Amino acid sequence: MKDRTVYIIQLITLSFNWILAVSVTWWFIHLVTVADELNDTQTASLSISIVAITVFWILAGVLSYVFFSLHKHDEEAE
Amino acid sequence: MPKYGMVIDLNKCTSCQACVTACKVENNVQIVSEDDAQNGRAMFWMKMLTMEFDGDYPNIKPKTLPRNCMQCDEPSCIKVCPVRATYKRDDGIVAQIYPQCIGCRYCMANCPYTVKVFNWDREEQPKEIEKLYNPDVSVRPKGVVEKCTFCVHRLQIASEKAKAEHRELAPGDYVPACVEVCPVGAISFGDLDDRKSEVSKASRDYRAFGLLEELGTVPKVRYLNAIE
Amino acid sequence: MSYQDLHDEDEALFRPIYETSRSFYVVVIVLTAVFLFGVGCYIHQLFYGLGATGMNEPVSWAFYIVDFVFFIGISHAGTLISAILRLSKAEWRRPITRMAEVITGIVLAIGGLHPVIDLGRPDRILHLFERGRLQSPLLWDLTSVTAYFTASTIYLYVPMIPDIALLRDRGGKLQNLYRILAWGYKGTPKQKHALERAINILMVMVIPIAVSVHTIIAWIFGMTLQPGWHSTIFGPYFVVGAIYSGIAALVIVMIVFRKIFHFEDYLKEIHFKYLGTLLLVVSLLWTYFTFAEYLTTFYGHEPAEMRVFLYKFAGGYAPFFWLMVFCNFLLPVIILSNKKTKTIPGILVASIGVVLGMWLERLIIIIPTLANPRLPYPTGIYIPSVTEIGIFAAGMSAFILGFMGFSKLFPLISIWETKEGRQHSVHEVSVRLREYLPGQREESGVEASVKAEL
Ligand code: SF4
Ligand code: SF4
């Protein structure tokens, strides 16, 4: 396999994490509007969504940080 | 908005179980096989509960109490439903949406009165029963939870009729099947907020009590204590 | 250059990946058969409805929910323990963390499926996404389990990158897979630094997530009004129980794989001794929680609570209850507090007892409450059906299969961490140790004196 192909596959797998983070965010926003529609307890919905969204974004961020810094310093070494 | 409620007079109730049967037929509640019934899967929306036994054998006097859904004003079942398949209507009736229910049974676990029943499977019903199906009530598929709805379909019919006749819904227009069938008239039903209605007066009677009221569920089905 | 030419001092850790014995395949076939049987059971349940189980009214939650809580509990072995050990710089963690993290990943996937198996209408699962209500604890659970699963897979993967790079550099099978997964890791100091930084962030994040997962599972019960469930200590109680069963499961897995793959040189008796001590401490903690929970119930003497209480202590569930007390308290405490019995076989027996006992504990928490409703219904009965047992067996075999599959792809003991331990830790630890001692002031001074000695 060429280096380029490997790199692209890696990028695709990494993007899954971002897709997850984005869809979780989108889902939570949707649920908060649903909760609003149904007159549910908003404090619960909001606090859970804030925590959950942050967690997923940080996770995706950390993973991307690892990915890009590994690749960056990899080139430096050569 | 009215607030529908029910008061059951235990002085009058003879435990004849007419309400139990009427409810089962009215609402197309599934009849399960004998085996399943033995295993605790019999389905009743209205059930005769034996609260305690007075006296010693053989002169036992069981104290019974007909129990349907308490239609709590602060229902613990709807709080936990993850998909809003059970909800409280504006008129206070706690209703079920069968096509929405995912069958997680959380609401069953959280009803302090153990009211809800689950369709463990869908069995072939006897031919005669199928002929008797009430067309106004949907037949529930397997895997969903159901319970007493105060015969809410009757309310829909009654209010449509009243609308067609250009009048307001009158107090006697809408009553659930158990109220209608009770031979001794032990169950009164109507608007609890209307202080002049029979049911509202009865609910404020000195004999009135609610089951497990101390839990804060505010049951809208109340009982009048039996007094010798 | 093929891998045989490379002679690594940690060759034993690579061997399981390249060499597979015949009995391995036999076990795989047997387990696959069990797994398929469970899948068959589920398909039967799908068509027949939940009537295929032994559940009824009022016991409307049973085996599946018990297994759910149990499996998620086991999953705490991993990530939580490995994160705590890493955080506290316990040097003996090095050969342990990887296995712990793998347990988490696999068991979480299995456990997370159980609520779906338990649904009456799994075909409507999408309703949770369209019309889910965030005020229901089930949604909290869905969220926290997903977060935990994501976090712990990342936490498993990131510290594994250097090992994958080692596998890539050896050549041999699955070159392309390792090349993709290694993310271009070459071991340059900057790469190492970035990796360590990420591990540190993850380690701090994973602990609160893990705690929240089991707290929320406890709240599924704690938020209800039911006697025996509506308790404020349920959150921490479940977390302690989870860690407890997690450590025990980890010990069992370690002992089994040590035997199969000959890791005796890496997993020494001292590791098991330390884990045994940890198990003993958590055992006492668990006992304390259990005692506090039941004593307050008993002293309060509320009728509905007492019915559940007596059902556990002297009624239908008494045999299970006392067996649990034996497995979770007497057995581990006796074995682990005695020097003579605190050997590897002894610790194994204690751990098996604990895993069994913790399963019973979940059973005892869930079923007696449902079987004894507040109103005077006849007491419920519950006998699991073949379907439920089949699915449980399938879950177990999926766990073992997953572990075996992992062992054929990646090293079960972190190789780079072992090497790092050998190369740097001795120095690092002696520096650290000097710092603790009185009479030493400057860090650089300590470093110099250690260097001079070495
Ligand atoms: S009695 Fe039970 S099912 Fe009926 S409204 Fe109250 S909590 Fe819900
Ligand atoms: S069983 Fe149905 S109605 Fe009850 S909580 Fe679950 S989804 Fe809601």
Per-residue pLDDT tens over the stretch B170-191: 888 899 999 999 999 999 999 9
- Confidence band (pLDDT; 50, 70, 90) for C442? low
What pLDDT does C5 receive? 46
Please give the residue range of the domain that contains residue B128. Answer: 4-224
- For the record, the structure tokens of B147 come out as 């319970």
What pLDDT is attached to residue C294? 92
Per the structure, the count of domains in chain B is: 1
Q: Kindly report, residue by residue over C105-142, the tens digit of the pLDDT.
A: 899 999 999 999 999 899 999 988 888 888 888 999 99
B158 CA distance to ligand 2 centroid (A)?
28
How confident is the model over C227-285, as pLDDT tens digits? 989 988 999 999 999 999 999 999 999 998 888 888 888 888 888 888 899 999 999 99
Determine the Cα–Cα distance for residues C168 and B197; give it in Å rounded to an integer: 83
Q: Do C176 and A74 touch (CB under 8 A)?
A: no
pLDDT-based confidence at C349, cuts 50/70/90?
A: very high
**C36 pLDDT above the threshold of 60:** yes
pTM over 0.80: yes
Q: Give domain limits for chain C.
A: 3-413, 426-454
Q: Which of B81, B87, B117, B142 to mutate to test the pocket of ligand 2 (most atoms within 8 A of CB)?
A: B81
| Alpha-carbon span C57 to A19, nearest angstrom | 42
Residues of A within 8 A of C198 (CB-CB) are 62-63, 65-66
- What is the CATH number assigned to the segment(s) C3-413? 1.20.1630.10
Average of per-residue pLDDT across C14-20: 78
Q: How far apart are CA A74 and CA B1, in angstroms?
A: 71
Report the range of poorest mean pLDDT among A6-10, B216-220, C12-16, C120-124: C12-16
Of B141-155, C332-346, C430-444, the poorest mean pLDDT is in C430-444
What φ, ψ does residue B191 adopt, rounded to 5°?
A: -90, 115
Residue C1 pLDDT greater than 70, yes or no: no
DSSP collapsed to 3 states, chain B: CCCEEEEEECCCCCCCCHHHHHHHHHCCCCCCCHHHHHCCCCCCCCEEEEEEEECCCCCCEEEEEEECCCCCCCCHHHHHCCCCCEEECCCCCEEECCCCCCCCCHHHHHCCCCCCEECCCCCCCCHHHHHCCCCCCCCCCCCCEECCCCCHHHHHHHHHHHHHCCCCCCHHHCCCHHHHHCCCCCEEEEECCCCCCHHHHHHCCCCEEECCHHHCCCCCEEEECCCC
- Which of B48-57, B134-143, C274-283 is least confident? B48-57
Lowest-pLDDT choice from A50-54, C24-28, C237-241, C431-435 = C431-435
User: What is the rounded distance in angstroms from the CA atom of residue C123 to the CA atom of residue C146?
Assistant: 20
pLDDT at B116: 93
Which helix or strand (DSSP H or E) is residue C211 part of?
A: helix C189-222
Q: Which chains does A contact via 3+ CB–CB distances below 8 A? A: C
Distance B86 CA to ligand 2 centre (A): 7
Would you state the pLDDT for residue A75? 63
Give per-residue pLDDT as tens, C364-397: 999 999 999 988 888 778 888 999 999 999 999 9
Chains A, C: CB contacts under 8 A, how many? 98
Which protein residues touch ligand 1 with a CB less than 6 Å away? B 69-72, 75-77, 94, 111, 113, 115-116, 147, 217
Question: What pLDDT is attached to residue A78?
Answer: 46
Question: Span B55-62, mean pLDDT?
Answer: 79
Handedness of CA C79, C83, C84, C90 (dihedral sign): positive
Give C135's contacts in chain B (Cβ within 8 Å): 79
Residue C452: band (very low, low, confident or very high) from pLDDT cuts 50, 70, 90: low
Query: In this prediction, what percent of chain B has a pLDDT beyond 70?
Result: 100
Q: How far is CA C379 from the centre of its chain?
A: 34
The predicted complex's ipTM stands at 0.91
Per-residue pLDDT averaged across B29-38, rounded? 88
Segment 139-168 of chain B within 8 Å of chain C by CB: 141-145
Query: Quick one: pLDDT band at residue B60, thresholds 50, 70, 90?
Result: confident
Provide the CATH number for the domain around residue B145.
3.30.70.20
pLDDT, average across residues A24-43:
87
Higher pLDDT, B132 or B23: B23
Q: How confident is the model at residue C96 (pLDDT cuts 50, 70, 90)?
A: confident
> pLDDT category, B153, cuts 50, 70, 90?
very high
Mean pLDDT of all residues belonging to chain B: 90
Please write the tens of the pLDDT for every residue from C45-66: 998 888 888 888 889 898 899 9
Band the pLDDT of C444: cuts 50, 70, 90.
low
Mean pLDDT of chain C: 86
CB-based contact C133 A40, cutoff 8 Å: yes
pLDDT of residue C135: 87
| B191 neighbors B199 (Cβ within 8 angstroms) | yes
Looking at all shown ligands, the one closest to residue B112's CA atom is 1
Nearest CB to C120: which of B112, B143, B212? B143
Q: pLDDT band for position C90 (50/70/90)? A: confident
Instruction: Check C188 against A77: CB less than 8 A apart.
Output: yes
Task: Write out chain B residues lying below 8 Å of C69, CB-based.
Answer: none
Sign of the dihedral defined by the CA atoms of residues C254, C259, C264, C270, in that order = positive
B147, B150, B222: which to mutate for ligand 1, most atoms within 8 A of CB? B147
